[in-house]
Structures are given as C-alpha cells and as structure tokens.
Amino acid sequence: MGSDPKAWLAERPEIASIFACLCDLNGTLRGKWMAAEQSSKLLSGGIRMPFSTLNVDIWGADIEGSQFVYETGDADGVCSYTGRPLVAADWMSRPGAMALLWMSHEDGTPFLGDPRRALAAICERYEAAGLSPVVAGEFEFYLFDPSGARPMPPISPVSGDRLDAHNAISISEMQHFEGFLNDVYDYCGNQDIGLDTTISEYGFGQFEVSMKHIADPLKAADDAILFKHMVRAIARKHGFGATFMAKPYGDDSGSGLHYHVSMLDTDGANVFDDGSAEGSETLRHAVGGLLTTMQECMLAFAPHENSYRRFQPGTHSPASVGWGYENRTAAVRIPGGSAQARRFEHRVAGADANPYLVLASILGGALLGIERKLTPPPPVDGNAYDADLPPLAQEWGAAIEAFNAGSHVIDIFSPTLQRMFVDCKRQELHRFRRTVTEFEHQTYLEVV
C-alpha cells in the first residue's frame, strides 16, 4: 500500500471527504471532516486544532482547570500528517477516507501530551539503543444486539436465535457471523492492517482477533486504533453493536488487550533467544522492568471505571505482579515454542485501553529493565492467584494516584502527559462518584 496520499487520492476520485483524526488520551478519534480537494492543506500541516482536543474526558468535556484551556487561552496546535497511509472508509454511505494526524507546537517541536508522541519517544530510545521491538496485539470484543435499552447477546444471522451458551473456540459460531468477520478481514486487508487468526471467545458473542507481528510499534498502535473504529462501524453495517468495554456484562468474561513482544538487534537477531526454553538474560531484564513499572502504569492498562470489573481471580485476568512460563494466570507470560520466536506476552491491559499508552508503558518498562539490568523474582509455578505476590490495583482511584506519584512513570511519559492523564481521570472519577445508579435506588431507596 503506497504512502503517497496525493497519489492514493488521485487513484480514488470517488472519495469526496477526509476525516482528519487525532487520537486523544482515551483512545477516541477526534478531528475535522473536510473536502477531499483540501488534502494539500491537511498534508502540509495546515490543519490546526486546540491542544485541549487531546485532553477532554470520556464524554468530550474540557478538563476543569486544564493548562491547555484557561492558562493558554485554549491555544491551537499544529496537526501534522503522521505518514500512516490514508484509510478508505468503505463502510460509509458516501466514499470517504481517514487520515491520522499528530500534534506539534508552532515551532515544530512535538506536543508531548499527544499519546502517539509518547510512543514515538519510546521508539526513538529503542532505536538509539540499537533495538527494534516486534509487537503483535490480541483484541477481545463483543458483538451485541443494540435494539434494547441495555446490550444483549447478538442474534445469529443463520439460526435467528439469540446466543445463550458459552462456546469458546467454536467454528460453528464463527461461521454464523462470517459475513461480519469477512468484512473485517477484507477492510483491514485493504488498509494494510495485518490480521492473523480469529477465535470465538468464552462470552456470548465475544471474539478475539490477533494481529500479525510487526517490527513497528507505531504502526501497530495506529492499526489498533483504526481496527477498533472499523470493527464498530462494520458491526453497525451488519445490524450489530460492537464494544471493546473491559466488562460489558457483569457475569460474563471481560475483554483484554494482550501484547506479544520480541526484540531484534541491528543484525535482526532476537535478543530474547539464547537457544533455551527459558530465554536470555535480556528477556529476564525486560521482565524485571515490566514488573517494576506495572503498578505505577496500571492506569494506562485499565483507564476507566468499568476496567476494574475485569480483574477478578480465576477469570484469566491477572490480579498480581508476577510472571511465568506458559502460565496464563500471571500478568506476564513467556510462551513456549520455537526459541527463535522467544517473546513475552503482557496480559494486563483491557480492550478499552488506549493502544499508544499501553505500548508506551510496556515498551518503556521493558527498556528500563534492560538498561538497568533489573532482575525479576522467580517465575510463578501453578496458580498465580494463590501466590504471595504484590497486588495490582483493584480500584480506579488507587491507579490514578499511583500514576500521579509513580517514580518510574516519568521514566516513560513526559510530565505534560502525566498531568493531563491524571487530571482527565480525576475528573471522570469525580463524576462517577456523584452519579447515583438505578441499582442503588433499587437496593437502598426504601430499605435503609
């Protein structure tokens, strides 16, 4: 797929409009809709949006007291084309395209509150160290029936029945939804988003899609953001809803975002491979860094109120800071298989997290471990839920304050992003705490 946007648009005269997109801290795409003939303006840095665009809460409201609203007069930043090829929005009623942008200051220096810039800074540090991370994400999500007041399991297009049984790794269930899945693969293939395998997961209407391994974390995160957007749009086209909420149903499985990471040197050799099943000392140093930074970076992995419903013992979602070989109860798993493909799997993040911040946290933590030669504790044998290990945050407020006070957070993220993210999450938490739910009324109103 070519990277010259003008040539790409010239080959597609039917495209009438372009969405100029920034990704905010919550992983939501925000931006402008413009006519395709204005593409030269978009590609030359002629698009401007307020810095505060990247620092709104999950409802799209400004952050109260934000330095990017009142202290600067809500100043504009320059929105530059990232170089990621344009994406044809094939699911729209009228042909359009999407362009990923990122933000800089007037003098061209990167705006460090941009989550894509945060990941780019980590990638630059790897390049300086002569290392290239190879990453692959695994995304879990639910299809649901959006016709009611609350989401319900989807109705099979084949049988006409609502899904009512757990059916993990079922070929039959995937065949029932093959129209939707075929479109996901076709659209992603057209946009150079490399999908690998898909399985039906444990939950009603839950699927897991694995990405192909690529030695370009920025592209991997771009692809993840676009994948989530496309899945929701394609689901609507087929009459479903699609959600990447960490826990859309209280009594059913949560949805995670796992990343597999290996590491190449300048000769293309995997530095995690020493020919053994255990992997190299460099692998163990990387794991040491992941464990050292995990509690402080929990907010990046679980950024929302709903995120913490996923972390329950016995649910294959990690509850503690630990690692192990072929152990899916641990937060960091070292898969078996070929030594040449030796890697770690980071299993903490939910599907609701921002992929730029997730990858920056993972790669930043691993690099810290490699640079400082951090040694992890012994790997966990057996059930990590029963092991005496440091706990992961089980409550949103604790994760917010850990990110705010973390001594290692500033080794990974800029102070600007740290402050913006904390301010955003504190505002969201405050709104949740002052909102009384229907369930609370049902439980307490005439009882206590």
- What is the set of domains in the chain, with CATH numbers? 5-111 (3.10.20.70), 123-413 (3.30.590.10)
The pLDDT assigned to 70 comes to 64
The per-residue pLDDT string of the chain (448 residues; one tens digit each, 9 = 90 and over) reads 346 888 889 899 999 999 999 999 999 999 999 998 888 888 888 899 999 999 999 999 999 988 777 666 678 999 999 999 999 988 887 889 999 999 999 999 999 999 999 999 999 999 999 999 999 999 999 999 999 889 999 998 988 888 887 777 778 888 889 999 999 999 999 999 999 999 988 888 999 999 999 999 999 999 999 999 999 999 999 999 999 999 999 888 999 999 999 999 999 999 999 999 999 999 999 999 999 999 999 999 999 999 999 987 667 789 999 999 999 999 999 999 999 999 999 999 999 999 999 999 999 999 999 999 999 999 999 899 999 999 999 999 999 999 999 999 999 999 999 999 999 999 999 999 999 999 999 999 999 9
- Threshold 0.85, pTM exceeds: yes
Closest CA to 52 of 71, 33, 32: 71
Q: Token pair of 162, please? A: 């609502």
